[in-house]
Amino acid sequence: MPEEFIYATGKRKSAVARVRLKPGSGKITVNGQEAPAYFCSAVLMLKVNQPFEALELLDRYDIVASVHGGGIAGQAGALRHGISRCLERFDVGNRPKLKRGGFLTRDARVKERKKYGQRGARARFQFSKR
């Protein structure tokens, strides 16, 4: 009997998370490791669990995720986005609560590029009149 997964992709900054969700006991595996060991921060684990808390579905689904690119915070945001999309596909009735919480919207904020002839993205060299 094949296992029934629901698949979705989440993105944040330059991080991409491929997420598979199935009914289970609430185990979250990221790149072959347990999620608390991978993210090693309670704040990031809170971010990952936000969609489940919004729907009051904590410890009902198992997550297997593959995450790459970006930093650890961007990866947590990408995983949250992917989990939200999976929960929406699992039951369309979840969509209003997820949408209200802002979990289905891809956070488009990325680092601005450095401009040539200047110190940084927004910073400028000091102007000298004389």
**Global pTM value:** 0.89
Residue 21, Cβ density class (10 Å: 0-12 exposed, 13-18 middle, ≥19 buried):
buried
CA nearest to 103, candidates 39, 30, 41, 54: 54
The model's pLDDT over 3-23, given as tens digits with 9 standing for 90+, comes to 688 999 999 999 999 999 999
How far is it, in rounded angstroms, from Cα 63 to Cα 34?
Answer: 10
Max CA pair span of the chain: 80
* Per-residue pLDDT at 82 exceeds 80: yes
How far is it, in rounded angstroms, from Cα 24 to Cα 4?
Answer: 11
Query: Which structural domains are found in the chain, ordered by start?
Result: 6-101 (3.30.230.10)
Per-residue pLDDT, 3: 64
Both ends of the chain: CA-CA distance in Å?
80
